[in-house]
Amino acid sequence: MRTPIIAGNWKMNLLAEEGKELVKEIWKNIPGLSGVDVVVCPPFVDIPSVASAINEKGMSIELGAQNMHWEESGAYTGEVSPLMLKDLGVKYVIIGHSERRQFFGETDQGVNRKVKSALAHELIPIMCVGESLEEREAGQTEEVITGQVKRGMFELSAEKASNVVIAYEPIWAIGTGKSATAEDAEKVISGIRKTVLELFDKGCSEKVRIQYGGSVTPENIVDFMAMKDIDGSLVGGASLKADSFSEILRRV
């Protein structure tokens, strides 16, 4: 059995104090919640203050970052290393979000270096893949996603690969209020699991957790979770409000 994982990607939103308040509110709303891994991914500079709230109240909420560099240190102005994230108690790291691919030129090769580095530092990568609207309309979804998964997981051992969380986020569904249908998402996600089976082995394909992301709300989360291969969600907009994020968690 795979434990569902719901991660809130705050993107470039919320000041440190606001982030701290948000986790406190979320925690108040979900007393005794179990059976789901809960992750919040604040901007880097908010992490210490969110971490202090989590530690103070002993919340079972894990911290994730939204990106990292693959090197441990060095002359990489503006970057943050896996060691720095570990030092703050971060457990997960989003790698290759479509916004980073689109606006910051990230490639599958860079994603692969980051995934390998995260795993080497015992951080769990949430590796994002997703097709554009043009690619979907041209019938290229399967080819695009398979390529991203293969290149992103290149040269991993089956053991390491089984720790990766994959987030399928169709670009056209992000922030648009127009989510994929649960059936369409399941079709792509079961395809991703098949690709993982081909690349590694059965144990790995059964263990790897695959999320859907893109306009997920308390209203549609149950439909996604009812699908056999969907193990949770990477939530954007709805993770910025305590009410909607905790309602998603409750329904999961």
211 interacts with ligand 13P by CB under 6 A: no
Q: How many residues bind ligand 13P (CB under 6 A)?
A: 14
Quick check: 68 and 36 in contact, CB under 8 A? no
169 interacts with ligand 13P by CB under 6 A: yes
- Helical axes 182-199 vs 141-152, angle rounded to 10°: 40
H-only helix segments in the chain: 16-29, 47-57, 82-87, 98-104, 108-120, 133-137, 141-152, 158-161, 182-199, 202-207, 221-225, 242-251
Interacting stretch for ligand 13P, rule CB under 6 A, among 24-32, 78-86, 145-153, 231-239?
231-239
Q: Closest CB to ligand 13P among 149 and 235?
A: 235
Closest by Cα among 207, 205, 208, 252 to 233: 252
131 is catalytic: no
Per-residue binding letters, 42-81, with ligand 13P (x by CB under 6 A): ----------------------------------------
169 is catalytic: yes
Quick check: 8 and 233 in contact, CB under 8 A? no
Closest by Cα among 28, 234, 200 to 127: 234
Interacting stretch for ligand 13P, rule CB under 6 A, among 117-125, 157-165, 211-219, 222-230?
211-219
Out of 19, 42, 82, 237, which residue is the one contacting ligand 13P (CB under 6 A)?
237
Closest by Cα among 225, 213, 214, 215 to 250: 225
Q: Which of 62, 106, 131, 169 is catalytic?
A: 169
Closest CB to ligand 13P belongs to which residue? Answer: 236
Interacting stretch for ligand 13P, rule CB under 6 A, among 31-39, 137-145, 167-175, 204-212?
167-175
236 interacts with ligand 13P by CB under 6 A: yes
Residues that bind ligand 13P (CB under 6 A): 9, 97, 169, 174-175, 213-216, 234-238
Active site residues: 97, 169
